[in-house]
C-alpha cells in the first residue's frame, strides 16, 4: 500500500528536521547517512524515496533553515516596530546574548552554518548565499536613513559583526568561558555604540 501525498510531504519534512538538528549540533560532515536516517525514523531505502543523495538533503536543509531564519528576522523586526522599539538595537541585544549563543539548534542559521557552508554542495551554498542576501535586505529596510545604498553598507557591517562575534564567542565558550563572555558583551556594547553614532 502506497503512502499518501500528504504523508510523503510529512516524511520529507521529518527527514529535513532531523537532519537540520544533527547538522547544527555536529556539523554536516560529522553526520553519516545511517545516523541521519535512524534519527528521522527511516531506513536508508526510505531516505532515497525523498532525496537522491546526502547533498540533495543538505541543500534542502539549508534552504529550509535560511527561509525559517529570514522569517524569524522579519517577525522580530515587525514586533519591535509594533512595540515602538528600535528593531536593530533589539536584534543586536538578542543576537549577541548568552541565550542565543547556546541556541545552536534553533538560532540564526547564518552563524550556525558559517563554518560548514564553504565545504557544501553548490545548491547548499546557493541557499546560504540567498539567505544572507535576504537578511541583509531585512536589516537594510529596518535601518534609519533615506539613502538605500548607505543602509545596505551599514547592514553588511552589522550582519558581519553580529555573525563574527557570535561565532568567535561560541568557539571559545568551552575552552575559555570568561573570554567568550567578554567577546560577546564587548562586541554587543561596541556595536550598539557605533550604531548610535551613525
Is the domain of 20 the same as that of 115?
no
Give the residue, 144 or 117, on which the prediction is more confident. 117
Position 123 in a domain: yes
Residue 162 falls inside a structural domain: yes
**169 part of a folded domain:** yes
Say whether both 7 and 69 belong to one domain. Answer: no
Secondary structure string (H, E, C) spanning the chain: CCCCHHHHHHHHHHHHHHHHHHHHHHCCCCCCHHHHHHHHCCCHHHHHCCCCCHHHHHHHHHHHHHHHHHHHHHHHHHHHHHHCCCHHHHHHHHHCCHHHHHCCCCCCHHHHCCCCHHHCCHHHHHHHHHHHHHHHHHHHHHCCCCCHHHHHHHHHHHHHHHHHHHHHHHHHCCCCHHHHHHHHHHHHHHHHHHHHHC
136: region left, alpha or beta (phi > 0 left; psi from -120 to 50 alpha): alpha
Shared-domain flag, residues 31 and 99: no
Q: Give residue 137's domain range.
A: 62-197
Do 46 and 66 lie in one domain? The reply is no
Residue with cell 522569517: 71
* Per-residue pLDDT reduced to its tens digit, 52-96: 889 999 999 999 999 999 999 999 999 999 999 999 999 999 999
Q: Does residue 68 share a domain with residue 47?
A: no
Q: For residue 184, name the pLDDT band (cuts at 50, 70, 90).
A: very high
Q: State the pLDDT confidence band at 197, using cuts at 50, 70 and 90.
A: confident
What CATH number does the domain containing 3 carry? Answer: 1.10.10.60
- In this predicted structure, what is the pLDDT of residue 2? 58
Grid cell for residue 128: 546560504
pTM: 0.89
Is the per-residue pLDDT at 1 higher than 50?
A: no
With respect to residue 57, please indicate whether it lies within any of the assigned structural domains.
no
Q: Which residue has the higher pLDDT, 185 or 40?
A: 185
Domain count, the chain: 2
* 47 & 143 share domain: no
Residue 121's domain is classified under what CATH number? 1.10.357.10
Do 72 and 97 fall into the same domain? yes
| 16 found inside a domain | yes
Asked if residue 130 is part of any domain, the answer here is yes
Q: Report pLDDT for 23.
A: 95
pLDDT digits (tens, 9 = 90+) for 134-175: 999 999 999 988 899 999 999 999 999 999 999 999 999 999
The answer on 101 and 189 residing in a single domain is yes
Asked whether residue 176 is assigned to any structural domain, the reply reads yes
Q: Are residues 130 and 184 in the same domain?
A: yes
As a whole number, mean pLDDT of residues 114-119 equals 94
Same domain? 29 vs 6: yes
Q: Are residues 13 and 71 in the same domain?
A: no
Q: Tell me the per-residue pLDDT of 2-46, one tens digit each, with 9 for 90 and over.
A: 567 787 788 889 889 999 999 999 999 899 888 888 888 877 777
Are 106 and 33 found together in one domain? no
- Whether 87 is covered by a domain: the verdict is yes
Amino acid at each position: 500500500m502506497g503512502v499518501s501525498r500528504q504523508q510523503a510531504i510529512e516524511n520529507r519534512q521529518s527527514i529535513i528536521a532531523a537532519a537540520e538538528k544533527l547538522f547544527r549540533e555536529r556539523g554536516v560532515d560529522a553526520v553519516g547517512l545511517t545516523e541521519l536516517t535512524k534519527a528521522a525514523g527511516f531506513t536508508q531505502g526510505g531516505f532515497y524515496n525523498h532525496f537522491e543523495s546526502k547533498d540533495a538533503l543538505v541543500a534542502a536543509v539549508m534552504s529550509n533553515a535560511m527561509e525559517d531564519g529570514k522569517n524569524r528576522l522579519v517577525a522580530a523586526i515587525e514586533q519591535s516596530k509594533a512595540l515602538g522599539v528600535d528593531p536593530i538595537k533589539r536584534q543586536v541585544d538578542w543576537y549577541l546574548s548568552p541565550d542565543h549563543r547556546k541556541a545552536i539548534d534553533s538560532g540564526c542559521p547564518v552563524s550556525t552554518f558559517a563554518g560548514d557552508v564553504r565545504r557544501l554542495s553548490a545548491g547548499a551554498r546557493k541557499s546560504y548565499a540567498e539567505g544572507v542576501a535576504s537578511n541583509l535586505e531585512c536589516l537594510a529596510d529596518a535601518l534609519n536613513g533615506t539613502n538605500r545604498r548607505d543602509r545596505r553598507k551599514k547592514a553588511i557591517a552589522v550582519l558581519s559583526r553580529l555573525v563574527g562575534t557570535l561565532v568567535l564567542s561560541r568557539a571559545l565558550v568551552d575552552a575559555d568561558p570568561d573570554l567568550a563572555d567578554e567577546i560577546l558583551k564587548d562586541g554587543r556594547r561596541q556595536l550598539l555604540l557605533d550604531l548610535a553614532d551613525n
